Amino acid sequence: MLVSLTVGKVDAGVAVLLTEDKRLIEFPSILLPSDISSGSIVDITVARNHESEAKAAAAFHALQSTIFRTFGQRTPTAPILRCRNKTQTSVVLEWDPIDTATAELRGLTLFRNGSKAGAIPKPTEVHSTKLSGLNVNTEYVFHLVLQTSAGTYTSEKLKVQTRQWTDLSGITITPGHMPSALRESLQVTVDRIGAKIVDTVRIDTTHFVCTEGRGPSWEKAVENNIPVVVPDWVKGCEREGRIVGVRGYYLNADPRLRQLGPGQMQPQQQAPPGPQQQQPMASPRTEITPPTPERPTRERSEDSNTAPPPPPKNDVVEEKPRSTTPPEPKTQAEEQKVRTEDLKPGHDETEEEDSEEEEEPNASASKAGEAGVPVRNKPGQARVDDEEEDGASFQNVEL
């Protein structure tokens, strides 16, 4: 098809062409001859290229087919959840490797009883998990939710019921360093209670049994917080018929903390009556006690040897004025004076001695006067005060 167009204006990169019916067409100037100018007439031939169209269509269909084969035939697979092991208070869940096909993995989440239990770290590498702290003999429902760029996929719900205390089949033991004879005995005991023994420490290992804490398996058990106990713990479970606490069965634990089964508790309860029957024969007073102080005894002996001193006369004088009338209230000045005199212990004693000495001569004089006998003072009689000053006694005074 041949078309004649008139050049109206040539600008940088664009030329304005005019048709016969005066319509403007912007046309790239690079496709026009280089010597054109305004008013030039150019002929443009327009034709369809069928061969190029066929090639482009074939390439497009090939690309679509490749995309369909790569991304359209395979889709992500929902995870399949199952129970690997369960105990009285824990559950070990596992699943097949995650298949996201050509989609991008965005997350894997575990749900328990319809609530989010937690996200699984590194879903492409981790294919199991352990949940602890569950209730005994309780049913739980678990399921996984896979998030990808192609959509969300949910696994089927899995019902798991924890075991009872008397069910020992959930125990999984990994043995460590111990004598060969003890290991054979451990194997026999484990078979009797229905437990399992594995050679390596795994996620479903419940207890690590050994007599010496060393070796890579022991280190891995400690790193994973797996209880490390002695072989007696398995025998204790068999003896009591249920899972016993591990506190008394650690490597460095005191054996006295271990729980005894019903068969051994009865003898201990029956043993005390024997000593209890002998207890009445031994009085509590026969126990070793500190000796009784001897001070009261000495005081009692001294009092028995020496006669009690006569009461002072002042006391007799003070007892006479007693009456039924209440004492008169003292003023503040008198109370202060009494308190001051109480603080002087030697003053009252001296006054009492002086009063006794003064009253004794007066009494003898009065008795002599009544009898009509003249009274003569003893010149050589010394007083107590003089004795204390002179340092002499009554025997040295000449009468």
pLDDT tens for each residue of 7-48:
888 887 889 989 888 888 888 888 888 888 888 888 888 888
- Could you give the CA distance from residue 289 to residue 16 in angstroms, rounded to a whole number? 131
Other Cβ atoms within 10 Å of 239 Cβ, number: 16
For the cut 80, the answer to whether the pLDDT of residue 335 exceeds it is no
Q: Is 75 exposed, middle or buried (0-12, 13-18, 19+ CB in 10 A)?
A: middle
Each domain of the chain, given as residue ranges in start order, spans 2-47, 81-161, 172-263
* CATH match of 81-161 with 2.60.40.10: yes
- Could you give the CA distance from residue 207 to residue 231 in angstroms, rounded to a whole number? 10
Provide the whole-model pTM: 0.51
Give the per-residue pLDDT at 173: 94
Whether 172-263 and 81-161 are alike in CATH topology: the answer is: no
Do 98 and 123 meet the contact criterion of CB atoms below 8 Å apart? yes
- Residue 366: pLDDT band (50, 70, 90) is low
Do 361 and 383 meet the contact criterion of CB atoms below 8 Å apart? no
- Residue 372: pLDDT band (50, 70, 90) is low
Query: Mean pLDDT, the chain, as a whole number?
Result: 76
Q: Which residues are registered as beta bridge partners of 145?
A: 109, 154
Residue listed under structure tokens 């340092």: 391
Q: Which residue has the higher pLDDT, 73 or 321?
A: 73
User: What torsion do the CA atoms of 65, 70, 73, 77 make, to the nearest 10 degrees?
Assistant: -170
Which residues contact residue 187 at a Cβ distance below 8 angstroms, ignoring those fewer than 6 apart? Answer: 197
Helices marked H in the chain — which ranges?
50-67, 180-193, 216-223, 232-240, 262-270, 273-278, 295-305, 313-319, 332-342, 345-371, 384-390
Q: Which CATH class is domain 172-263?
A: alpha beta
Q: Is 44 exposed, middle or buried (0-12, 13-18, 19+ CB in 10 A)?
A: middle
Give 3-state DSSP helix, strand, coil % of the chain, rounded to 5. 40, 20, 40
Give the mean pLDDT of 167-188.
92
Give the per-residue pLDDT at 301: 45
Sheet strands (E) in 75-138? 81-86, 91-95, 105-112, 115-119, 128-131
* Residue 188 identity (one-letter amino acid): V
Residue 384: phi, psi to the nearest 5?
-65, -35
For the cut 60, the answer to whether the pLDDT of residue 313 exceeds it is no
Angle between helices 180-193 and 232-240 (to 10 degrees): 30
Do 138 and 68 meet the contact criterion of CB atoms below 8 Å apart? no
240-244, 262-266, 290-294, 346-350: least confidently modelled range: 262-266
Do 196 and 190 meet the contact criterion of CB atoms below 8 Å apart? yes
Give the mean pLDDT of 316-345.
55
- Residue 336: pLDDT band (50, 70, 90) is low
Helix (H) or strand (E) holding 69: none
Do 176 and 227 meet the contact criterion of CB atoms below 8 Å apart? no
Q: Quick one: what percent of the chain has pLDDT higher than 70? A: 64
Other Cβ atoms within 10 Å of 69 Cβ, number: 10
